[in-house]
Amino acid sequence: MFSRALVVVLAAVVGLVSCAQQEEPIKVGAIFSVTGPASFLGAPAARTAQMMVDSVNAAGGIAGRQVRLLLRDSVADPQRAISFARQLIEEEEVFAIIGPSTSGESMQLKSLCNDAQTILISCAAAETIVDPVAPYVFKTPQKDSDAVRRIYETMNDLGIQRIGVTASNTGFGAAGRAQLETLAPEYGIDIAIAEVYDRAATDLTAVVTKIRAENVEAVVNWSIEPAQSIIPRNMRQIAFDVPLFQSHGFGNIQYVREAGEAAEGIIFPAGRLLVADLLPDDHPQKEVLQKYKADYETRFNEEVSTFGGHAYDALALLFNAIEVAGGDREATRDALQNTTGLVGTAGIFNLSPTDHNGLDKDAFAMLTVRDGAFVLYEQE
What integer pLDDT is reported at residue 22 of this predicted model? 52
| 128 and 159 together in one domain | no
**CA–CA distances in Å: residue 92 to residues 69, 88, 265, 317, 364:** 11, 5, 48, 22, 37
Q: Which residues are within 8 A (CB) of 362 and not within 5 positions of it... i.e. 6 or more apart?
A: 347
| 240 and 167 together in one domain | yes
19 occurs within a structural domain: no
What integer pLDDT is reported at residue 4 of this predicted model? 43
| 94 and 156 together in one domain | no
Expressed as residue numbers, the domain containing 155 is 144-270
| 100 and 30 together in one domain | yes
Looking at the structure of the chain, the number of domains it has is: 2
| 148 and 266 together in one domain | yes
258 occurs within a structural domain: yes
| 236 and 319 together in one domain | no
- Domain holding 297: CATH number? 3.40.50.2300
What integer pLDDT is reported at residue 225 of this predicted model? 85
What integer pLDDT is reported at residue 13 of this predicted model? 39
306 occurs within a structural domain: yes
| 50 and 120 together in one domain | yes
18 occurs within a structural domain: no
* Residue-wise pLDDT tens digits, 312-323: 999 999 999 999
83 occurs within a structural domain: yes
Nearest to 62 by CA among 376, 326, 343: 326
Of 241, 270, 299, the position where a domain reaches its end is: 270
| 230 and 245 together in one domain | yes
Q: Which residues are within 8 A (CB) of 353 and not within 5 positions of it... i.e. 6 or more apart?
A: 133, 337, 338
Of 270, 303, 331, the position where a domain reaches its end is: 270
| 166 and 93 together in one domain | no
| 29 and 67 together in one domain | yes
| Preceding peptide of 132 cis, ω within 30° | yes
278 occurs within a structural domain: no
281 occurs within a structural domain: no
163 occurs within a structural domain: yes
| 116 and 156 together in one domain | no
Per-residue pLDDT of the chain (380 residues; tens, 9 = 90+): 434 443 443 344 344 343 444 589 999 999 999 999 889 899 999 999 999 999 999 999 999 999 999 999 999 999 999 999 999 999 999 999 999 999 889 999 999 999 999 999 999 988 899 999 999 999 999 999 999 999 999 999 999 999 999 999 988 899 999 999 999 999 999 999 999 999 999 999 999 999 999 999 999 999 988 899 999 999 999 999 999 999 998 988 989 999 999 999 999 999 999 999 999 999 999 999 999 999 999 999 999 999 999 999 999 999 999 999 998 999 999 999 999 999 999 999 999 999 999 999 999 999 999 999 999 997 44
Q: What is the pTM of this model?
A: 0.88
What integer pLDDT is reported at residue 171 of this predicted model? 84
| 96 and 202 together in one domain | no
